[in-house]
Amino acid sequence: MKILVCISHVPDTTSKINFTDGDSKFDTNGVQFVINPNDEFGLTRAMWFKEKQGASVDVVNVGGAETEPTLRKALAIGADSAIRVNTEATDGFSVAKQLAKVVNDGGYDLVIAGRESIDYNGAMVPGMLAGMTGANYVTNCIGLEVDGTTVKAVREIDGGKETVNTSLPLIIGGQKGLVEESDLRIPNMRGIMMARKKPLKVIEPIEASAETKSVSFEKPAPKGAVKLVDADNIDELVSLLHNEAKVI
C-alpha cells in the first residue's frame, strides 16, 4: 500500500501572534512552526500501516523553503520521503489543486490529510482533493483499518460515531482519535540523523489560481478585568452576576 500524508506547516499554538501591513499579513517573526496536529495524528497512523503492513509512506507540503524543517521532522518520525510543492499556500482550492497533481502522478492508494489546519481552520482541502482525484472520502475520521483494498473507517458525527465501509483509493480527513495522543512520536536522534539522508523532492507548481484571499486579520478583544468577591459576600456576587454579567 502506498500512502501519502499531507503536512501543513502551522504556528505553534503557544506563539504570540501579530500582524503587519495594516493587519493584512501574518507576521512570522519569532513564531515557532510545527506539524499541524491533525496531520500528526494521520502521520502516526501511517507509521502503523508501515510497520504492520509494510506500507510505504511519503509526506507532502505546499509551501516555500521555510517549510522544509517541518517536512524533515516528518521524515525523522518515520516517513520514507518528502515532496515540497514550491509555491505559497494561498488558499484551500489552490493547495488542493497542487496536491491533486502529486496524488495522480504518484499513484497513491491512501491519502491521509488532517480534517483542518489549526491556522485557518478551513476544513476544505481534503474534500476538494477527493473531488479532484475521484477517490472515496471520509472526513472527521477517528478510526481506520485497511485489509487489501477494503477499508473500515470510523468517523465522528453529531452525538456519536459512524462506522463506514469503503475501498481504496481513499482520502481521509483525520483528527484527534485516529490515534491516541500518547501514541504520537517524538523524533529520536537516530531518526533525526536518518532524516538528513532521506529524499526531499522539490517540484514546481502547476497553474492554479486562488479563489479566496485574506483581506484583513483582527485579534480577539482583550479580556476584561477580573472582579474578586469575598467568599462570604454572596449578595454582592449575585448582584454582579445579575446586573453586570447578566447571566442570571
Residue-level pLDDT at 2: 98
Tell me the sheet residues that pair with 156: 161
| Residue 222 binned pLDDT confidence (cut-offs 50, 70, 90) | confident
The tens digit of pLDDT for each residue in 17-70 reads: 899 999 988 899 989 999 999 999 999 999 999 999 999 999 999 999 999 999
Q: What is the mean pLDDT of residues 194-219?
A: 92
The yes-or-no verdict on residue 153 having pLDDT over 90 is yes
- Cα 204 to Cα 57, 65, 83, 120, 133, distances in angstroms: 21, 12, 11, 24, 19
> How far is Cα 125 from Cα 132, in angstroms, rounded to an integer?
10
- Contacting residues for 177 by C-beta, under 8 A, at least 6 apart: 41, 142, 143, 156
The yes-or-no verdict on residue 214 having pLDDT over 90 is no
Residue-level pLDDT at 248: 86
- Contacting residues for 134 by C-beta, under 8 A, at least 6 apart: none
Cell 515540497 belongs to 84
Residue-level pLDDT at 245: 84
- The answer to whether the CB of 43 falls within 8 A of the CB of 106 is no
> How far is Cα 136 from Cα 172, in angstroms, rounded to an integer?
8
Taking alpha carbons only, the member of 82, 109, 79, 112 closest to residue 185 is: 79
Least confident of 71-75, 96-100, 243-247: 243-247
Percent helix, strand, coil in the chain (nearest 5)? 30, 30, 40
> How far is Cα 189 from Cα 200, in angstroms, rounded to an integer?
19
In this structure, the number of other CB atoms found within 10 A of the CB of residue 203 comes to: 15
Supply the mean pLDDT for the chain: 94
DSSP assignment letter at 73: H
Structural domain boundaries in the chain: 2-219
CATH architecture of residue range(s) 2-219: 3-Layer(aba) Sandwich (3.40)
The yes-or-no verdict on residue 167 having pLDDT over 90 is yes
What percentage of the chain reaches a pLDDT higher than 90?
A: 81
Q: Is 168 helix (H, G, I), strand (E, B) or coil?
A: coil
Residue-level pLDDT at 17: 87
> How far is Cα 93 from Cα 98, in angstroms, rounded to an integer?
9
Q: What is the mean pLDDT of residues 145-155?
A: 97
Q: Is 36 helix (H, G, I), strand (E, B) or coil?
A: coil
What percentage of the chain reaches a pLDDT higher than 70?
A: 100
Beta-strand pair 81-85/200-203: parallel
